[in-house]
Amino acid sequence: MPFINVKTNIGVSKDKEEQVKQRLGKAIEFIPGKSEEWLMVAIEENIPLYFKGRTDLPVAFVEVKIFGSTTEEAYQQETAQITQILKDELAIAPDRIFVAYMELEHWGWNGNNF
């Protein structure tokens, strides 16, 4: 039950959005027990994001929320994958990407909780 929310201050074409979504679907597998089958992705473009007081360079903030927990190694691998995807597909420099993780005990779906 993972959710990845990508916020960026640049425009994202539908083609690039699809590429990012597909690659994030593969990258989520670096977290044990997670797969694209249950992944929800949001890509928010043209958000006024400031980093180091500036908004004129591409930047991204990525939130990854998962049901349960995982290891530091899995998070490290996931961060490396996400950073590479955004660099390749959206030309965002790795030092301008933040990735935040949240582990959740409670997750609802289909009218029930896990």
Mean pLDDT of 61-66: 98
Q: Which of 7, 23, 35 is nearest to 99 (CA)?
A: 7
Global pTM?
0.95
Distance between CA atoms of residues 109 and 49, nearest Å: 31
Domain boundaries, the chain: 3-113
What digits encode the pLDDT tens for the residues 6-40? Answer: 999 999 999 999 999 999 999 999 999 999 999 99
CATH topology of domain 3-113: Macrophage Migration Inhibitory Factor (3.30.429)
Distance between CA atoms of residues 66 and 24, nearest Å: 14
